[in-house]
Amino acid sequence: MRVSLRLCARRTADFIGVSVSEVAKNSEHSGKNAYTTVQNVLSVKKNLTVPEWNKLKYVFSGPGFAYQAVSVIMKDKCGLEEARKLTSALEMSDSLNLITKAQMLRAYGFFSSECTMEDHKFIEETIDEVLSTYPVLSADLSSYLLSGLMSTPLWKERADLILKKSAEVNHTVLCIYAQLAFEHKEFDLGWDTMEKAVSTGPNFVPSLYNCIVDHHESHPQENLIFKLLDFLEKHSKMMTSYAAESLSNILNRSDNLVARFSSVDLRGHCTCCKRRLQRLPLTAEEHKTLLSGLEEQFDLKCRFNTYQQEEVDQFKEFLESCPPYTLVVDGLNLFYRSQKSELLTNSISKLRREGHKMLVICRDHLRGHKEFCNLFKSHTLYFLNNRTKDDTFVIYAALFKERGAFVLSNDFYGTYYTSLKGASKILFRKWQLSHHVVCSGYLAMDFLLPTHTPIAQRTSNGLSIHVPLVTDDLYSAFAPYAWLCIQKVSVEEKQKSWRLWPHKPFVHEIESKSGATVFRQHAHNVRKQHVNSKKLKKSYAVYY
């Protein structure tokens, strides 16, 4: 990694100097290095001329240069003029094909306020050419074209045609279409499109949130930010951090509202207002949707001989007659991945003393394992065939008959999650975040039962609402990075709000760890909070 970064830095220095032609002859870069190098160049030389863009294009032999360059221009907010010069440079080098022109429309949509009539003509001609050339559009191509329509007055007919020709109207396409509606003051259409997009993805794209918040003050009669808060609460969505910052600034200017960034501890208490978030069960409709998704998984896997139909039927019959339970234990996963047997025994005993009844699902080869059978001897055990993958069985047992049981496992069920579609995918993560018992460490064996559901919640008296936040870079996350605490206060409290609820700086950027899922990151955060709380208790004991 260091070698490639040094290479990018050296090429950047060469480009800024006089030897750009020598670099152009001997350099080959991947798309990732193209992004890094363009970013380095623009950080030193804020504006490039068309010939400089042309020279920089020759440094890279790969086809992804234009896409990466536009991404840098948008991220660094270099302005539409840079995108125009890049377009001219690509045209000079005969690199401006139809797909590249469509990719360039992202910048025209991003800097829509800077677009001129000439830009509108370029956008419309490009879209018309793409629509006449390709009978079917990919989801990515559709999103590029829709982005370009942000500033054009005649947008609706072309946007509808793009959706009609799109092979897949996915979450991103619907989000951009909703943003188009809000940009062109079609607010009802925007909300309707967001309703359609609810089941297609976890959270909405950052630009859509920003657009809604930005239009609030110019259209106060629409109450956009309050409708947005209601929408987030209704559909269990999370808000992106930069839009939340703008939202908090607007709310803090009002006479009776206070908005602060905060966090929520393991017991569900907000660090700002000290109110406690609740653990919310799935609604009857949500439970039915999630359970029907599990039934489909069983049917599909039986059809392809992953499961045996007889085994599935026997398992369902067993659940009808088995004793009540509050914890479903993934026996194979927990037993073999927990190497400290004494700690595991103590933790299981602690859960039993707290009144938990367990259903342990495991495989046949553990029947004769003395240590395993002794560990769970006072609980209900169910043995599957040795080759049966137990993920679906464990989750089905936890959801069976709305018992609301917890799942105790070190598995984050990523494979099962990827097999789900639509609403089931979203509901599964919502359920998992409040029902999956997370270990504070794979070997420490401290089982932490979730005490609250990390979704937007309003208190029963309506005096406060807590909105979970994700960063703009990781907007598709299912676990919140932070919270926005919004309170209704009196005039006297508002005057003292700076002292009662001090402002805290908010860090928007977090490190993205490759290979780690967002839910696994959530588990690490829980572990960190647990360790900190133990240290705090210990320090109190020493003090007293």
Strand ranges, E, within 322-449 = 327-330, 358-363, 380-384, 406-408, 436-439, 447-448
Count the Cβ atoms, other than its own, within 10 Å of residue 17. 10
Task: Kindly state the tokens that stand for 49.
Answer: 């001329």
Is residue 106 a contact partner of residue 172, using CB atoms and an 8 Å limit?
no
Question: How much is the pLDDT for 212?
Answer: 95
What are 382's strand-pairing partners?
Answer: 361
Question: How much is the pLDDT for 513?
Answer: 41
- The label of the residue with tokens 């359970």 reads 291
Query: Does domain 284-448 fall into CATH 3.40.920.10?
Result: no
CA 370 to chain centre: 43
Is residue 298 a contact partner of residue 392, using CB atoms and an 8 Å limit?
yes
Q: What is the DSSP letter of 222?
A: G
Strand ranges, E, within 263-342 = 327-330
Question: How much is the pLDDT for 147?
Answer: 93
CA distance 239 to 232: 8
Question: How much is the pLDDT for 227?
Answer: 95
Mean pLDDT (10-residue bins), the chain, 544 residues: 41 44 42 74 82 80 78 86 89 85 91 91 93 92 93 91 92 94 95 90 90 93 93 90 92 90 87 88 85 83 79 88 88 65 72 85 83 80 85 88 79 80 80 78 60 87 90 82 91 83 67 44 60 55 41
pTM value is: 0.80
Is residue 270 a contact partner of residue 264, using CB atoms and an 8 Å limit?
yes
Count the Cβ atoms, other than its own, within 10 Å of residue 5. 12
Transcribe 72-104 into DSSP letters: HHHHTT--HHHHHHHHHHHHHTT---HHHHHHH
Q: How many residues does the chain have?
A: 544
CA distance 175 to 158: 16
Going from the C-alpha of 210 to that of each of 222, 225, 292, the distances in angstroms are 16, 10, 36
Strand ranges, E, within 354-418 = 358-363, 380-384, 406-408
In the chain, where the domains are located: 284-448
